[in-house]
Amino acid sequence: MDKDEIIEGVNLLLSQVVLEKDSEFKETIFHTIHNAVVFNEVAADISLDILLPYCSGLSNENLSYVLSFLGFSGNEKYLATLRTYRNSPNKEIQTIAKEAINELRYRAFR
C-alpha cells in the first residue's frame, strides 16, 4: 500500500472507531491505527479531530492511544488537549500525556 491508501484507510477507521460499541473490537481498531501511525508516520496526515469530542468517554487504554496519536501528529493545535490530561487523576494517563507533549514538540520543531 502506498501512503495515500494508508491515510485513507486510517481515516475510515477513525470515523468508525468512535461508533464502535464492542470494547475489545474498539481497542483492536485503535491498535491498528497505532501501528499505521508508528510504522508509516501518517499521524500528521490523518483526521484526528474526529476523536477529540470523544476523549472524555474513552477507557484509559483507548485514551492512551488517542493521546499518543496527538503527540505523533506534531500539530501544536493539540497541545491544549494534551495539557488537560497532564493533570488526570490517573497516573498512567498523566505520563502518556507528558510523553505525547514531548513527542509533539519534537516533531513540530524538527
**pLDDT tens for each residue of 7-28:** 999 999 999 999 999 999 999 9
Provide, for the chain, the percentages of residues in helix, strand and coil under a 3-state DSSP scheme, each rounded to the nearest 5. 80, 0, 20
* Mean pLDDT (whole number) for 100-110: 93
Share of residues in the chain with pLDDT > 70 (%): 100
CB 66 within 8 A of CB 58: yes
Looking at residue 84, what is its pLDDT?
97
Mean pLDDT of the chain: 96
Where does residue 1 rank: exposed (0-12), middle (13-18), buried (19+ CB within 10 A)? exposed
**Banded pLDDT at 110 (limits 50, 70, 90):** confident
Number of domains making up the chain = 1
Q: Give the C-alpha separation, 11 to 48, whole Å.
A: 8
Q: Using one digit for the tens of pLDDT, what is the confidence trace for 37-64?
A: 999 999 999 999 999 999 999 999 999 9
Given a cut of 80, whether residue 68 has pLDDT beyond it is: yes
| Domain that residue 15 falls in | 3-108
